[in-house]
Chain A
Amino acid sequence: MPEQPKPTHQAGRPADAGDRPIARTADLIVRRLPTETLIYDLRTHRATCLDARATAVWDECDGTKSPDQIKSIRSGIETSGNNVDGILRSLAENGLIEGVEPSVKPEPETMDRRRALASLGTALAATASSVMTLSVPTPAMAASGNVCANSGDCDGILSVCINIDPITMLGVCALG
């Protein structure tokens, strides 16, 4: 893989009043879909899903606008039950912007692949949050999956038996 750009800032650092939030770009892989944005953080191996409102706010974080200015530009968001302040805070908590103090510092999560997959879909649906953080299995997690001889041994309908060893005929449960 191409060498990833080095981090140029520290996400979630304390901010002075009047800071203008800047969307983080380093070490992020961003996939924009018509109705949401999926972001994979190469530092934490976490994926975040932004709904359309959060995507709109994130896009405004170009370092030239204060939170108040973003609010005035995206005034429609204020009436949708999820205000700009809350979205900015969530973005900061997830390390996606700098310049806004997060209320809670995010901790790296440990979660197996199956739970990660489940959370990917349920978290956004179950909460009113515009920013949903979820864990994606790291290489270590993937490598430490269940030992299996066939799919029936794997513990989820989304996992199958792969990397079958030709000698032992044992593999590892992983996303098929």
Chain B
Amino acid sequence: MTAIEAGSGAERLASRSGKSRSSERLGQSVSRVLRGAWRDTAPPLTSDATVSLDAQTRLAAPDVAPLTWKRLSGSPESLPDSMAAPLQAAYRYSELQAHMQSMAIRHVAVCLADAGIDALLFKGFAMASRGYASPGLRPAGDIDIAVGENDYADAAHVLGKICHGTPNRLDAPGKDQALLSLDSPLPALLGQIDLHRGIDCYGSAPFAVLVERSIAVETDDGSPARTLGDEDHLRLLCLHFLKHGGWKPVWLCDVAAMLEAVRDDFQPSLCDEGNPITRRKIEVVCSLAVDILGARPRSAAQIFARDPAPDWMRRSVLKQWGRPAGLHRSRLALRKSITRRPGWLLSDIAARWPDPVSAADWAGGRFDGRGVRLFQIAKFSRMAFDFVGRGGRI
């Protein structure tokens, strides 16, 4: 290696390290603005909480723009003029969308109930109406609905009658998730229905037990829709956050909001189902919600946030939040890269490199910070193996 090459390598390393620190700083800016933004009365921003241009871009992302508006509109001195209009637009749009989703959910719930199908709403609107001061503060995107294993085909059939899309393929063997669009004048604002065959990947409780522990969705139109009980929902939110490396700030806002909204009869033991690994996973995410977003868990849930979150996890999540959202989404295009734009392959592979949080989660909840690089390599190898095994299909 020549001296020039060595110097270039050192510069690249320094540059990479600088980018990493920059991402973390941006993530910190994002977290400062989002702290407590889900509450009725968000805490005032400190006078030194200036929002950099890069942080503004992150905060204008669809998932957090309404929360950003809520927090910054209460501190006009912190709200750059260039941000005010688009943030307010996103908030209004989200409020309308939430209102329409509420109507759609009522309709879907009635149809499924009439067919004798137990359905549970989770994430999205279920959380927006549960822990946030106003549903519009939490843009819901798709409407996530789970039904039992044995009801999936029937549910697909029922929804196929009121939706357009590919209802005939919904009950294909092995298919456990389907996206449908309601036949309505509103789908542009409505999002899609994401029908799940159970939610086993986020816990071991049988679906019938989840239904037994479910609670009514809080809507203003007397909807018969039900959502997961607080214990099951908190577990799902935490495991979902870890699975995806926590790159969307709103996922941690969901956990924070749930910690503050749990009912008086909340039973922590139902969350972990007696599984110590699940318990540890819930604990680290709840601790992150407290550390990063200033969550104030109700007494019944404080048991999950007694210890501070591991520092490496906190920094990793903040770095994720400081990166452009496009980086996280670009993983969708790998097959296209291989076949159509080989020049982009390396960057797309880099975009797929597992983040430390999801790698530690994948390794069975090893959050002590040791061996994280090894977990990342192992997870990537497994992903590559699976990718090849599927014949290059995502």
**A-side interface residues toward B, CB under 8 Å?**
1-2, 4, 29, 31, 33, 36, 38, 40, 42, 45, 47, 49, 113, 117-122, 125, 136-139, 141-142, 149-152, 157-161, 163-164, 166, 168-171, 175-176
Q: Which residues of B contact A171 (CB under 8 A)?
A: 332
* A169 adjacent to B85 (CB under 8 Å): no
B61 contacts which of A113, A139, A157 (Cβ < 8 Å)? A157
Q: How far is the CA of A149 from the CA of B87 in the complex (A)?
A: 26
* B85 adjacent to A125 (CB under 8 Å): yes
Q: Which residues of A contact B99 (CB under 8 A)?
A: 29, 31, 38
With CB as the reference atom, state the residue of chain A lying closest to B91. A121
Q: How far is the CA of A36 from the CA of B96 in the complex (A)?
A: 12
Known contacts: A1-B107, A49-B92. The answer to whether A117 contacts B326 by CB under 8 A is no
Q: Which residues of B contact A138 (CB under 8 A)?
A: 188
B349 CB to nearest A CB, Å: 14
Q: Which residues of B contact A29 (CB under 8 A)?
A: 96, 99-100, 103, 186
8 Å CB interface, B324-345 against A: 325-326, 329-333, 335-336
* A164 adjacent to B332 (CB under 8 Å): yes
Q: How far is the CA of A176 from the CA of B94 in the complex (A)?
A: 11
Q: How far is the CA of A163 from the CA of B179 in the complex (A)?
A: 9
A81 CB to nearest B CB, Å: 21
Count of residues in B whose CB is under 8 Å from the partner chain: 47
* A149 adjacent to B332 (CB under 8 Å): yes
Q: Which residues of B contact A160 (CB under 8 A)?
A: 62, 325, 329
* B186 adjacent to A150 (CB under 8 Å): no
With CB as the reference atom, state the residue of chain B lying closest to A167. B393
Interface of B (DSSP majority class): helix
B86 contacts which of A142, A150, A158 (Cβ < 8 Å)? A158
A161 contacts which of B62, B100, B329 (Cβ < 8 Å)? B329
Known contacts: A1-B104, A1-B184, A176-B61. The answer to whether A136 contacts B189 by CB under 8 A is yes
Q: Which residues of B contact A49 (CB under 8 A)?
A: 92
With CB as the reference atom, state the residue of chain B lying closest to A113. B188
A4 CB to nearest B CB, Å: 7
Q: Which residues of A contact B335 (CB under 8 A)?
A: 169
Q: Which residues of A contact B136 (CB under 8 A)?
A: 31
Q: Indicate whether B57 reaches chain A with its CB closer than 8 angstroms.
A: yes
Known contacts: A40-B100, A164-B332. The answer to whether A157 contacts B183 by CB under 8 A is no
Q: Which residues of B contact A113 (CB under 8 A)?
A: 188
* A137 adjacent to B188 (CB under 8 Å): yes
* A122 adjacent to B89 (CB under 8 Å): yes
* B107 adjacent to A2 (CB under 8 Å): yes
Q: Indicate whether B308 reaches chain A with its CB closer than 8 angstroms.
A: no
With CB as the reference atom, state the residue of chain B lying closest to A30. B99
* B90 adjacent to A158 (CB under 8 Å): yes
Q: How far is the CA of A9 from the CA of B57 in the complex (A)?
A: 45
Q: Which residues of B contact A117 (CB under 8 A)?
A: 86, 89-90, 93
Q: Which residues of B contact A125 (CB under 8 A)?
A: 84-85, 88
Q: How far is the CA of A151 from the CA of B185 in the complex (A)?
A: 27
Q: How far is the CA of A138 from the CA of B185 in the complex (A)?
A: 8
Q: How far is the CA of A175 from the CA of B101 in the complex (A)?
A: 15
Q: Which residues of B contact A38 (CB under 8 A)?
A: 92, 95-96, 99
Q: Which residues of B contact A141 (CB under 8 A)?
A: 188
With CB as the reference atom, state the residue of chain A lying closest to B336. A169
**Pairs of residues from A and B, 9 with the lowest C-beta to C-beta distance, nearest first:** A121-B89, A1-B184, A120-B89, A121-B85, A176-B62, A121-B88, A151-B326, A151-B329, A149-B333
Q: Which residue of A2, A49, A161, A175 has the most chain B CB atoms within 10 A of its CB atom?
A: A175
Q: Which residues of B contact A121 (CB under 8 A)?
A: 84-90, 92
* B62 adjacent to A175 (CB under 8 Å): yes
Known contacts: A137-B188, A139-B188, A176-B141. The answer to whether A150 contacts B330 by CB under 8 A is yes
Q: Which residue of B63, B92, B99, B187 has the most chain A CB atoms within 10 A of its CB atom?
A: B92
* B189 adjacent to A150 (CB under 8 Å): no
Q: How far is the CA of A126 from the CA of B245 in the complex (A)?
A: 40
Q: Which residues of B contact A122 (CB under 8 A)?
A: 85, 89
Q: How far is the CA of A125 from the CA of B85 in the complex (A)?
A: 7
* B330 adjacent to A169 (CB under 8 Å): no
Q: Which residues of B contact A152 (CB under 8 A)?
A: 326, 329-330
A149 CB to nearest B CB, Å: 4
* B95 adjacent to A142 (CB under 8 Å): no
What are 30 A-B interface contacts by the 8 Å CB criterion?
A1-B104, A1-B107, A1-B185, A2-B103, A29-B96, A31-B96, A33-B95, A38-B95, A40-B96, A40-B186, A113-B188, A120-B89, A120-B92, A121-B84, A121-B85, A121-B86, A121-B89, A125-B85, A125-B88, A136-B93, A136-B96, A136-B188, A137-B188, A138-B188, A151-B329, A152-B330, A161-B332, A169-B332, A169-B336, A176-B62
* B189 adjacent to A40 (CB under 8 Å): yes
With CB as the reference atom, state the residue of chain B lying closest to A120. B89
